[in-house]
Amino acid sequence: MFTKRFAPFLICLWGVMSTAYAQSDVSPVPKVSEEWRFSVTPYIWTPGINGTLYYNNTALGSSNLSSSNILSKLSAAAMVTGEAHKGNWGALADFMYVQFNNVNSTAVGQTDLGSNTTLKGSILTGALTYTVVQNSSVYLDGLIGARGLSLTASSNLNVPLTRANATLTRNPSATANTTDPIIGLKGRVRIADSSWFVPYYGDIGGGGGTTTTTWQAMAGVGKQFSWGDIALVYRALYYGMQSGALMQKTTMAGPALGVTFIF
């Protein structure tokens, strides 16, 4: 399924890599200067999703969706990161919109006869950054900002009636909107003076809206070219919310592939 949906993207990516290979002997560590530098990174993230949905203080269902079958449930997606730097200071913005249809779920505390959930929402992370380490091998930015979440969950709960030998399908829907302050770090480590590198990112926050804790982490491997870089990473995003809120201990984690263009 992955190959079928993203074959054109992968073919183009392979062509870009082949064309740029002869010019790939460049340092993956950015240089700090007083000139503006910008980057844009469109990416594909296919996370597995595990969590419990609540509505009116009642557990609607526990939903599980693995990375291997997530593309069959994905109906819409847009994912992009942008950065701007001047000197040690910078700013970043990461936007993601996704919609998953017919996610298998299980009604909590009920005899479930085949429930499913539709999830759609957007996540926007914005932050100011400051470069604290920059040398030939290591680049490290500290960051402070906020992450906003807007999520709508619509469940089709198929559970038996308690007083009749029949089946009742319920269709509750709920929305979560929260904006939380975050602090963190990001950067990359050069591998053996080559154009290969290890990108990393981590943040933690909470206390805004209904969120008690949210964190995000990412690490992987990438290769630098003269025009930008390509990186394959493992990314995880967690939300824990107050009792009775829509999302309870929800984790999204899986591989992501991104192409960064610098200018």
d(CA 226, CA 223): 10
> 188 in a domain, yes or no?
yes
The reply to whether 173 falls in a domain is: yes
Q: Does the structure show a pLDDT above 50 at 176? A: yes
How many percent of the chain have pLDDT more than 90? 52
Q: What is the SS3 string spanning 43-96?
A: EEECCEEEEEEEECCEEEEEEEECCCCHHHHEEEEEEEEEEEEECCEEEEEEEE
Q: Please check whether residue 24 lies inside any domain of the structure.
A: no
Q: For residue 25, is it within any domain?
A: no
In a domain, 2, yes or no: no
Q: How far apart are CA 170 and CA 168, in angstroms?
A: 6
Considering its fold, how many domains does the chain have in total? 1
Whether residue 17 is contained in a domain is answered as no
**Residue ranges making up the domain that contains 97:** 47-262
217: domain CATH number is: 2.40.128.90
Q: 109 — phi, psi (to 5°)? A: 75, 15
| Residue 171 in this model has a pLDDT that exceeds 90 | no
- Is 62's pLDDT higher than 60? no
Query: Which ranges of the chain does DSSP label H, i.e. alpha helix?
Result: 2-20, 70-73
**What pTM, to 2 d.p., does this model score?**
0.78
